[in-house]
A and B are shown apart, each in its own frame.
Chain A
Amino acid sequence: MYGMLIAIGSLTLIGLTLGTILGAAARQFAVKEDPLEEELKAMLPGSQCGQCGYVGCGQYAAALAKGEAEVTLCAPGGKVLIEALANKLGVTADLSGHEERVPEHAFIIEDLCIGCTRCIRECSTDAIMGANKLMHTIIVDACHGCAKCVPVCPTDAIVMVPVQVTLRNWHWSKPEIEQTQPKQEVAHAH
């Protein structure tokens, strides 16, 4: 009983001390974030998927702010983001190599899933549900289509599928007459 009290007491003490030290350190060593960097960071999807080649959105934003990175690296952001970034940074984006994808989400072929939980650990937005040895499934609303989970699956059970056009998101396509450049049907804005 007494031992437990000591344990609790010491834990609390440690927690408090560490907290204070951490807090002080945070203030002491706080890096003054560049306002431009902050703005760029706010424009990025923020899902930390790492497809740009940087650890997360913050690092990509920092590289962008320093002019060290291309504006075309963020796949989930798509053309809209590329244009917005180019605009912000006053550069012209080279869209020639950019292939605009239709919005996609991951889909788990349930028969193939062995419930290894690897994809769950990979997903940066908690969009995969499931438990050890139990079938997993994707929460479509939380999946932003970064496809990070696809390569980690040992049984190739994850595929990317286009987001379906339904009555809720369907809309008229652009009038065809006078269309300035030939373009595929735009059922989605991206």
Chain B
Amino acid sequence: MKLFPILGGIHPEYRKELASEKAIVALPMPVALYIPLQQHIGAPAEVLVNEGDLVKKGQMIARSGGAVSSPQHAATSGRIKAVTDVTAPHPSGLPQTTIILEPDGKDEWGDLPEPITDPFTADPHAIHERVAQSGIVGMGGAAFPSAVKLNLGTQKKLEILLLNGAECEPYLTCDDRVMREYPDEIIDGARIMAHALGTARVVIAIEQNKPQAISIMTKAASAFPDVEVVGVPVQYPMGSERHLVQAITGRETPARKLTADLGVVVHNVATARAVHHAVRFGRPLVARVVTVSGGAIREPNNVMTPIGARIADLIEFCGGFSARPESIVNGGPMMGQPLASLDAPVVKGTSGILALTAEEINDRPTSACIRCGNCVTVCPCGLSPLDMAAFIRKDNLDVAAKLGVMDCFSCGSCSWVCPSHIPLVHYFNYAKGVLNDLERESRKNERIKSLAEVRIIRIEKAAEAKRAALAARKPASDAAPPSTGGEAKAATEEKANT
């Protein structure tokens, strides 16, 4: 298959060998699971259980909270200990509403929805329904509800389902292992999704630094003429949805558009496997493979983890720390976020937990920009990081916005390459946060404005009604057109009488 070049990018040290040869092992069931209501983009789920309830594995314990949302399920059987605030797996360490489940040790499945026996003749809606019900979200990290993305076929003409097995982040090997150990499940899930989307082709893209995964997946796909496996060049951030689409189709997704507008829908390989389980067995998403790695982890591994296990449980299972971790990262080292607490749980979007040593992080003092232009060369979005950062530093966010800071997807390439160690991506994260705040604020102001207007109109109406009533009591000839003063008076009267 002909591939197309992508813009910019870097070649960081991958260090995948730490975990890539470790077969997936299951985490022993922890003493408690912490299942947050919000593990996805969109509205949080709504709790369906109360303290003390007994639940079975796979039972829905929180239902979808809106059109873009996802339900949550019990990852094992047991008793609901509480529904309360627990630290979120988030750099802020802020709490969020979480269901605490005490496993009973039986790990008993509850009643599951019937398997869809022949998914390829099933109505696509039945598949959307099942995927939505099963709480499946994008498992590459973004955690966008998969059913919403599967619905795109009803709105747009789609050609390709692109399965993302690039795994371009250093250290992470969970997708690699899933592809090597469960290739048939992934391909079945992908074909079901392609049927639901109405795409004729499935393309599975894997970075060339995973030769075993490529050969195993190619073999598994050989039975299906509509499924093609391609090795893509090793170039960070190849696994970004837009860039992968560009590498495969040669077409660039315009800013603020979806890849679906180009006829391509991208799903992660692990998501495809989850779809296979949901459709063929009725099983919701209750566990995922997490790579635990980094120089400070004693035994790096790929761990099948029930959703809601604490990060501390995972680290302990991997032998604890062998060196002082300078930073614990949720996700990959490039785009992952530092974790504020090890008490936070593993959620559906957790692809890796990395404990990095000071050496690996290589945090050095910042010096002035030497205008070498390296950051411009590597930016895969064609932005000019040095200029944007300079304006943000001077609190000139308007100019940064004009330079396209909102198009930056925080891949971190610019920070990585900067010889002056300027925390470029940190500036952009800050600026995007502030700009989003302003946007929210102005939306609120709009609302407030209209609320105030509605109120004024209401008061005037009431005053008018009062005048009319007054006029009706008197002979019609007396009702002279009221002066503005009278109106104001009526308005104050109304105010006093409400």
The 8 Å CB contact of B94, one of A167, A186, A188, is: A167
Q: How far is the CB of A140 from chain B (nearest CB, A)?
A: 10
Q: State whether A177 touches B452 (Cβ < 8 A).
A: no
Q: Is A174 an interface residue (CB 8 A)?
A: yes
CA distance A170 to B94 in the complex (A): 9
> How far is the CB of A145 from the nearest CB of chain B, in Å?
10
Complex CA distance for A80 and B472, rounded to whole angstroms: 51
CA distance A97 to B430 in the complex (A): 27
| Residues of B contacting A15 in the complex (Cβ-Cβ under 8 angstroms) | 468
User: Would A172 and B430 be within 8 Å (CB), given that A125-B448, A142-B451, A167-B94 are in contact?
Assistant: yes
Residues on B with C-beta less than 8 A from A1 are none
- Stretch from A30-38, A41-49, A154-162 that touches the partner: A41-49
Looking at A17-25, A60-68, A88-96, A107-115, the stretch in contact with chain B turns out to be: A17-25
Q: Which residues on the A side are within 8 Å of B92 (C-beta)?
A: 165, 167, 170
Residues A169 and B448 in contact, CB atoms below 8 Å apart: no
Closest-CB distance, B242 to chain A (whole angstroms): 23
What secondary structure prevails in chain B residues at the interface with A?
helix
Residues of B within 8 A of A188 (CB): 437
Q: Write the nearest CB–CB distance from B163 to chain A, whole angstroms.
A: 30
Does B26 sit within 8 A of A, measured CB to CB?
A: no
Chain B interface residue count, Cβ-Cβ cutoff 8 angstroms: 46
A100 part of interface (Cβ distance < 8 Å) = no
Find the B residue at minimum CB distance from A103: B441
Asked if B154 is an interface residue, CB under 8 A from chain A, the answer is no
Contacting pair A7 B430 (CB below 8 A): no
The answer to the question of B426 belonging to the interface, with a C-beta cut-off of 8 Å to chain A, is yes
Task: Check if B452 sits within 8 Å of A124, measured CB to CB.
Answer: yes
A15 to chain B, nearest CB (A): 6
Beyond A126-B455, A142-B451, whether A45 also contacts B438 by CB under 8 A is no
B372 CB contacts on chain A under 8 angstroms: none
B66 proximal to A (CB < 8 A)? no
Q: How far is the CA of A161 from the CA of B452 in the complex (A)?
A: 22
A184 in contact (CB, < 8 A): no
Which of B96, B432, B471 is in CB contact (< 8 Å) with A14? B471
Do A10 and B476 touch (CB < 8 A)?
Answer: yes
A15 to B468, CA, bound (A): 7
Interface membership of A85, Cβ < 8 A? no
Q: Which residue, A120, A127, A144, A171, has most C-beta atoms of chain B within 10 A?
A: A171
Chain A window 173-189, contacts with chain B (Cβ cutoff 8 Å), 1 for yes, 0 for no: 11101101000001011
Contact B434 A47 (CB under 8 A): no
Q: Contact at A186–B434, with CB atoms within 8 Å?
A: yes
Q: Which residue of B lies closest to A142 (CB)?
A: B451
How far, in whole Å, are A11 and B435 apart by their CA atoms in the complex?
Answer: 53
Q: Do A141 and B481 contact each other (CB < 8 Å), given the known contacts A126-B455, A172-B433?
A: no
**B466, chain A: closest CB distance, angstroms:** 13
A172 and B451 within 8 A (CB): no
* CB-defined contacts of B436 to chain A, threshold 8 Å: 171
Q: How far is the CA of A39 from the CA of B400 in the complex (A)?
A: 25
30 pairs, CB–CB < 8 Å, chain A vs chain B? A7-B472, A10-B472, A13-B476, A46-B452, A46-B453, A47-B451, A47-B452, A120-B498, A144-B448, A165-B92, A165-B94, A167-B88, A167-B90, A167-B92, A169-B437, A169-B440, A170-B90, A170-B94, A170-B433, A171-B429, A171-B430, A172-B429, A177-B366, A177-B423, A178-B393, A180-B393, A180-B394, A188-B437, A189-B438, A189-B441
Chain A residues close to B by CB (< 8 Å): 7, 10-11, 13-15, 18, 21-22, 25, 45-48, 80, 117, 120-121, 124-127, 141-142, 144, 165-167, 169-175, 177-178, 180, 186, 188-190
